[in-house]
Structure 1
C-alpha cells in the first residue's frame, strides 16, 4: 500500500498556481535569451543540485568545484570519495535530463535499478549491492545518536511488491498536478527504502525525473535538490520525513509533506528567477565594459564566470567559446596583464579570479543577495 495523495486546500491551490505562473514566465524568458549565458546558468544549476543532494548525505563539495569536475578537471582539491560520489551523481542526473523527451518511455523496476547502479555502482559490494533490492533490514539512524533508529523500512521480502505498486502508480496519470505527483513519488520511494544505500538521492532524483518528463521547463530549472541542500531546509526535510513515524504506515494524511514540497518548488522558482535576472544584468554590464575597454566580445564569457561563480578556469573558457588552447591562454594572459583578472595556483590547477581592475558594478550585481518569500506566511 502507498500513501494516498491528499486533496489540496484553497491555499495550496493558490500556491501551486503561483508556481505554475513563475515557471511559465521563466520558460518564456529562457527561450528568448541568447543561449551563450543561459547554457552557463543551466550548468550551474545542475552542479548546484548535485552538490546539494550529495551534501545531504554528507559528501561536501562546493558548487564551483562540482562544475569543475563536470568539465573534466582533474586538479580539483576534493577527496577521492567526494570526487567519485559527485561524478556518479552527475552521470545519473545527466541521464535523467536526457530522458525528458524519450519516446516509448515507461517507469519500471529495471529503470530504477539501472539508475541506482549509475549512482552506486562504484560502491557495489555483497553487503550493499548496487542496482539490486536490499536483502535485509535497513534503518535511518538518528542524526545525534546512531544507536537509535529514527526510521525502520519495510521488510526486505515486501520490497519487490511495494516497488511494483509504485511503478504501476507512476505509469498511470490520475489527473493530479505533476508537481504534486512528483512530491508523492519522492515520499513513496524514500519510505520503501528499497536499496541498501543511496535511497535519499534516488528518491530526490525520481522527483526530478518526473519534472523532466513533464517537459514544461528544463529540469535543472525546476529541481528542488538545491533548495533541500540548504542547512535549514535539510533539517526541515528530515523533520518532515520523521513526522511520518518510525515505521512504514502509509494509511495517513501527508498534507504537510505536500505543503513542504510546494514551499520548496515556490522558493526554488524564486531563487532561479533571481539568479537568472542577476546573471543577465551582469552579462549586460560586462558586455558594456568589454566594449569600452576594446576587449574581444568572447572574453565576456570568462568575466561572467568570475562575476557569478567567483572564478574561471582556462579549460572552461576554452570549451565555452570553442577556442584553441593557445587562444584561450592568450585571452586570459591579456586580461591578467590588464589587471582585470588575477591568476591563482600554477599550471593545470590554475584558475582566475577578479583582479583590481575588474568592473565593480558587475560584481555588485552578482553579489547582491535576494529575499525569498514564504508562500505560506501564516
Structure 2
C-alpha cells in the first residue's frame, strides 16, 4: 500500500498556478537568451543540486568545487570520499537528465536499481550492496542522537512487493499534477527505504526524474534539491518526514508533505528566476564596460563567472569559448595585466578572482541578495 494522493485545497491550487506561471516564464527566458549563456547556468544549477543533495547526507563540497570536478579538474581541494560521492552523483544525474525525451521510457525495478548502482557502486560491499534491495532492516537515526531510531523502514521481505507497487504507480496516471506526483514519488521511495544506503539521494533524484519526464522545463531549473540543501530547509525537510511517524503508515493524510513541496518548487523557481535576471544584468553591464575598455567580447564569459560565481579556471573558460590552451592562457594573462583578474594558487590548481580594476558596479549587481516570498502567505494575503 502506498500513500494516497491528497486532494488539493484552493490555496494549494493557487500556489501551483503561480509555480506554473513562473516555470513557463523561465522557459521563455531560457529560449530568449544565448545558448552559451544558458548552458553555463545549467551547469551551475546542476552542480548546485549535487552539492546540496550530498550535503544533506554529510558530504560537503561547495557548488563551485562541484562544478570544477564536473569540468574534469584534478586539483580541487576535496577529500577522496567527497570527490567519489560528487562524481557518482554527477554520473547518475547526467543519466537522469538524458531520460527526459526517451519515447519508449518505462519505470522498472531494474531502472531504479541501475540508478542506485550509479550512485552507490563505488561503495558496494557485502553488508551494503549497491543496485540490490536490502536484505535486512534499516533505520534512520535521529540527527541529534544516533542511538535513537527516528524511523524504521518496512521489513526487508516486504520491499520487493512495495517496490513493484511503486513501479506500477509510476507507470500509471492518476490525474494528479506532475509536480504533485513527483513529490509523492519522493515520499513513497524514501518511506520504503529499499536499499541499505543512499535512499535519501535516490528519492530526491526520482523526484527530479519525474520533473524531467514532464518536459515543461529542464530538470536543472526545476529540481528542489538545492532548496532542500539550505540548512534551515534541510531541518524542515527532516521535520516533515518525521511527521509521517516512526514506522511506515501509508494510510495517512500527507497534505502537509505536498504543501512543503509546493513551497519548495515555488521558492526554487523564484531563486532560479532571480539568478537568471541577475546574470543577465551582469552580462549587460559587462557588455557596456567591454565597449568602453576595448575588450574582446569572448572574455566576458570569464568576467561573468568571476562576478556571478566568484572565480573562473582556465579550463572552464577554454571550454566555454572553444579556445585553444594558448588562447585561453593569453586572454587570462592579459586580464590579469589589466587588473581585471587576480590569480590564486599554483599553476595547475590556479583560478582567478576579481582584480583591483574589476568594475565595481558589476560586482554590486552580482552580489545584491534577492528576497524570497512565502507562497502560502501570499496566497491567503
Which residue in the other structure is 2:84 paired with? 84
Which residue in the other structure is 1:150 paired with? 150
Counterparts of 2:112 and 2:238 in 1: how far apart (Å)?
A: 23
Question: How far has the Cα of 1:305 moved from its partner?
Answer: 0.5
Structure 1 residue runs without a partner (length 5+): none
- Report matched runs for 1:289-328 at 5 Å: 289-328=289-328
Which residue in the other structure is 1:161 paired with? 161
Counterparts of 1:297 and 1:13 in 2: how far apart (Å)?
A: 45
Counterparts of 1:298 and 1:288 in 2: how far apart (Å)?
A: 14
Q: Are residues 1:365 and 2:340 paired?
A: no
Question: How far has the Cα of 1:36 moved from its partner?
Answer: 1.6
Which residue in the other structure is 2:194 paired with? 194
Question: How far has the Cα of 1:293 moved from its partner?
Answer: 0.9
Which residue in the other structure is 1:54 paired with? 54
Question: How far has the Cα of 1:370 moved from its partner?
Answer: 0.6
Question: How far has the Cα of 1:207 moved from its partner?
Answer: 0.2
Counterparts of 1:72 and 1:255 in 2: how far apart (Å)?
A: 42
Q: Are residues 1:45 and 2:45 paired?
A: yes
Q: Are residues 1:278 and 2:278 paired?
A: yes
Question: How far has the Cα of 1:288 moved from its partner?
Answer: 1.3
Q: Are residues 1:253 and 2:253 paired?
A: yes
Question: How far has the Cα of 1:291 moved from its partner?
Answer: 1.6
State the number of aligned residues.
378
Q: Are residues 1:337 and 2:358 paired?
A: no
Q: Are residues 1:172 and 2:141 paired?
A: no
Question: How far has the Cα of 1:374 moved from its partner?
Answer: 0.4
Counterparts of 2:10 and 2:119 in 1: how far apart (Å)?
A: 39
Which residue in the other structure is 1:265 paired with? 265
Counterparts of 1:168 and 1:3 in 2: how far apart (Å)?
A: 14
Counterparts of 2:368 and 2:80 in 1: how far apart (Å)?
A: 34
Counterparts of 1:20 and 1:56 in 2: how far apart (Å)?
A: 27
SS in 1 for 2:353: strand
Question: How far has the Cα of 1:360 moved from its partner?
Answer: 1.0
Counterparts of 2:80 and 2:291 in 1: how far apart (Å)?
A: 43
Q: Are residues 1:376 and 2:376 paired?
A: yes
C-alpha distance after superposition, 1:204-255 (max 9, x if no partner): 0000000000100000000000000000000000000000000000000000
Counterparts of 1:80 and 1:44 in 2: how far apart (Å)?
A: 22
Which residue in the other structure is 1:15 paired with? 15
TM-score, length basis structure 2 = 0.99
TM-score, length basis structure 1 = 0.99
SS in 2 for 1:347: coil
C-alpha distance after superposition, 1:170-202 (max 9, x if no partner): 000111100000000000000000000000000
C-alpha distance after superposition, 1:154-181 (max 9, x if no partner): 0000000000000000000111100000
Counterparts of 1:139 and 1:149 in 2: how far apart (Å)?
A: 6
Counterparts of 1:269 and 1:332 in 2: how far apart (Å)?
A: 34
Question: How far has the Cα of 1:30 moved from its partner?
Answer: 0.5
C-alpha distance after superposition, 1:1-25 (max 9, x if no partner): 0000100000000000000000001
C-alpha distance after superposition, 1:26-54 (max 9, x if no partner): 10111111112111110110000000000
Which residue in the other structure is 2:288 paired with? 288
Which residue in the other structure is 1:134 paired with? 134
Which residue in the other structure is 2:73 paired with? 73
C-alpha distance after superposition, 1:55-108 (max 9, x if no partner): 000000000000000000000000000000000001111000000001200000
Counterparts of 1:150 and 1:143 in 2: how far apart (Å)?
A: 8
Question: How far has the Cα of 1:361 moved from its partner?
Answer: 1.3
SS in 1 for 2:348: helix
Extract structure 1 runs of 4+ deviating beyond 3 A. Answer: none
Counterparts of 1:193 and 1:323 in 2: how far apart (Å)?
A: 47
Q: Are residues 1:115 and 2:115 paired?
A: yes
